[in-house]
């Protein structure tokens, strides 16, 4: 299957966002480079893990390079997702790397694959494989993305104090209470 690789380089905007109410939200990643806006759909857990891994990578890779001045996040992007939302694909895998020559993060976002299709290595633009969105982020932009993503994930339903499962607005059947509604 022929694949599409969209390389946004250093995007003008790269954010995570949601549509819907807590408990029924759809999560998106959106990248804009000039007039080109790419929107992909993913799971809440993928957003949380991506944010966590970006921070780990920056902490590990940027400190030895002496980039202490760039370790602060860029200004927060609090704007909503750009509309209309046109889903390019659903996210199946990420590739995260560090460009030592430029001192920045490379992030490849791959579509869900069918069957035994393998995810190509970072920077591999072969024709076979899943569709891909590639962005390059400065440490400050990656930290700003991670901060927004973490707050987005935390804005969901509060956890039950007993079983730590999400509380529903209409009630919660807690397994720690032997099925009684709390």
The string of pLDDT tens digits covering residues 109-164 is: 999 987 767 777 777 777 878 899 999 999 999 999 999 999 999 888 888 888 88
- 98: tokens are 């560090």
Tell me the C-alpha distance between 96 and 29, whole Å: 15
Q: Where are the alpha helices (DSSP H) in the chain?
A: 44-62, 139-154
What are the distances in angstroms from CA 89 to CA 39, 144, 150? 8, 24, 22
- 127: tokens are 């024709």
Q: How many CB atoms lie within 10 A of CB 64?
A: 8
Tell me the C-alpha distance between 79 and 98, whole Å: 27
Q: Using only C-alpha atoms, what is the Rg of the chain?
A: 18
SS3 call for 143? helix
- Segment 22-37 shows an average pLDDT of 93
Residue 141's pLDDT is 94
* Cis peptide upstream of residue 33 (ω within 30 degrees of 0): no
pTM of the full predicted structure? 0.83
Count CA atoms within 13 Å of residue 128 on its CB side.
3
- Segment 5-33 shows an average pLDDT of 93
Fold of 5-114+127-177: Secreted effector protein pipB2 fold (3.30.2450)
The domain spans of the chain are: 5-114+127-177
pLDDT band (50, 70, 90) for residue 14: very high
What are the distances in angstroms from CA 28 to CA 43, 60, 142, 143, 153? 8, 27, 16, 18, 12
């Amino acid at each position: 299957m022929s694949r599409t690789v969209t390389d946004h380089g250093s995007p003008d905007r790269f954010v995570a966002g949601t549509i819907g109410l807590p408990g029924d939200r759809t999560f998106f990643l959106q990248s804009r480079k000039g007039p080109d806006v790419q929107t992909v759909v993913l799971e809440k857990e993928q957003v949380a893990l991506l944010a966590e891994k970006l921070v780990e990578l920056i902490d590990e890779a940027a400190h030895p390079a002496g980039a202490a001045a760039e370790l602060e996040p860029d200004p927060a992007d609090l704007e909503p997702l750009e509309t209309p939302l046109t889903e390019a694909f659903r996210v199946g895998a990420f590739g995260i790397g560090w460009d030592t020559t430029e001192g920045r993060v490379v992030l490849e976002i791959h579509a869900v694959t069918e069957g035994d299709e393998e995810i190509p290595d970072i920077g591999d633009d072969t024709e076979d494989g899943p569709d891909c969105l590639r962005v390059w982020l400065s440490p400050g932009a990656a930290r700003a993305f991670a901060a927004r993503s973490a707050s987005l994930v935390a804005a969901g339903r509060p956890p039950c104090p007993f079983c730590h499962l999400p509380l529903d607005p209409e009630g919660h059947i807690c397994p720690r209470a032997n099925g009684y509604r709390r």
